[in-house]
Structure 1
Amino acid sequence: MINKKAAHIMYPELDENFRMERLKPRDGIIRMVLDTDTFNEIDDQFALSHALLSPERLRLEAVYAAPFFNDLSNGPKDGMEKSYDEIVHILTRLQRMREGIVFRGSESYLPGAHTPVDSPAARDLVAKALAMPDDEPLYVAAIGAITNVASAILLEPSIIRKIVVIWLGGHALSWRDTKEFNLVQDIHAARVILDSGVPSVLIPCAGVASHLITSLPEIERYVRGRGEIGDFLAERYEGCSSDHFGYSRVIWDLSAVAYLLDPSYVPTDFVHSPLLTDQVTWSVDHGRHFIRCANGVNRDAIFKDLFHKLEEHAQGTR
């Protein structure tokens, strides 16, 4: 065990070959959990639905409510609670609600670089990760502030041997800054992910996931009328703007689930884990460990997959 950028937390030293092996695409069904600030916008609802509609590839074992704070909440705790309720709404509409799948997450952001925020979500992630066999990682798709995942790592650093984190956070590495909502809410947590050495796939927002755009006419044609969940997603989309004339909206969070469904949907490069500066910019250090970083998204393939699955689900419930 060695100390990496932390005065109090000792992260396991992962062999680079082990990390690269963990980051290779895997065939067959993979086990995953989803960490989501589901009520923050409208895109998390699409991502959660996509994961639930993809049992041929994804075994979704838990959904964690992540904190958020904007004009839709009065603080991180309220954002987390609203996200928890939204997760339950989606699972109910898809008739997937069952005991022990949804967990409340952090009620605040990390108070310091080495201090976790204990929560049922963080504890469940630790337990699930430790129970994984050595030859099979648990995939952790995170599409909000990454407080829950960072807290789990701080609570039990050894889980970095057991998980692969796919995080939608920050902007493209070439961007002038990385002041993106998921990242800036909890910079301490972001640094835990980037500095701990955990096998990671970083999906930047601006410059990468920002290409996942759709419009109300497309939603009306391929989402509305596709069962209870299709109508729910269409209502959420329609309600996101008072004027849809010439309007389009990015559904960022589909990217993390899409990567797990088929890595060709979200092509990546191996890069050195970037340093997050105090100015909230990226800095390059070629001595740091490797991660995967997305360089684009196959917008059409991702939406086609979602639309087909919504149609198949609707036909199966008629």
Structure 2
Amino acid sequence: MSITAQLHDSVKLQGGAALVNGFGLEIRTHTPSRALLQNGHELEVYDLYDVLAGERAPTAVFPLPWPGWDRGVHSVSPDGTFAVFSGQRAVRAVGPGGEPLWEYRHGCWGPVLDHTHTGDEQEVCYGSEHGSCRVSDDGRFVWAHVVPAPGEQDWLECWVVLDARDGREVARLPLDSAASGSHHISHPDGLHMGLCIGMGQDGILLHWARWDGEKLTGWDLNDTLDRILMDVHPGHPGFLTVEHYGTDLRLHALDGTVLAEGEPESSDDEDPPCWDYGCGFVDADTVIASTVDSDDDPDWARHWLLDARTLRTRGAITYPTGRVDSYVCPLGDGTWLTYDDASGTLDRWTEATS
């Protein structure tokens, strides 16, 4: 079955690829979706829907604390008054003028053991490894994936909860991981946080935790290794993962129980396609996924809509503009984004009603 897409908005946006194939989009349940775009030595913050409507001025601009550091996944507070940056040796909160609000020092993400530092905070050590951080949806806490400070090397890495007012550590969980990178996803209930840790050829680790203000409770879902945490939705009871190599999508309950599983359809049973990393909830009833990377047949559809309860394929998407080779990024409001690298155009789509 073919499903026709309808163009909702379209805008030229330099760097917009980070919203579709990266971590430049910050979606929260009770605040507008934000685009976090790096422009030179600054992080520009935009209301996504204002950008799609043609607004060019950012709502806030935060100077990067370490201009030479181009890794890490950063976060902005729900009210937009401060940003938190995940650095190579620290997590730092800054105000719009760049003034440091606080800093939480940790060990170095550089992969060379026991290497020395010059003392220059702008020094960037060898390696592409990085952590991530996320401001909680109520703005009170910062969750961060870090390397323990020197002298705290009883474990490789840890997950900390920081007081967003002053960066004070209020809780931590030790992690048995050796990350190449990570990202966080806030659960819509405002209590739980998800952490996905990529370890390159060593696989993927997936953790959930809950901080109730007094106790941090965490659990991992790594009995079935190599599942990437992709998305959650306030109108859906589960969360979505994709297998590391794209063989299937799964819906899980918060305890990890598998609720549904879906494999990509194929025009060639001998060389079936795999799902890409870009997938998620279009809305509570619909999941979007793609086979851009693995499907080389130009006549075979690239993007698919699936039932969000069963993960059965509803149909392949047909675009009125012709073939769309972009990854997809669903917004949870009934629409999804694609980005054309050649033209620098960010498009927002919805399923056509007629």
Q: Is TM > 0.5 for Structure 1 vs Structure 2?
A: no
Structure (1 or 2) with the greater helix fraction: 1
Higher strand proportion (structure 1 or 2): 2
The structure that has the greater radius of gyration is 2
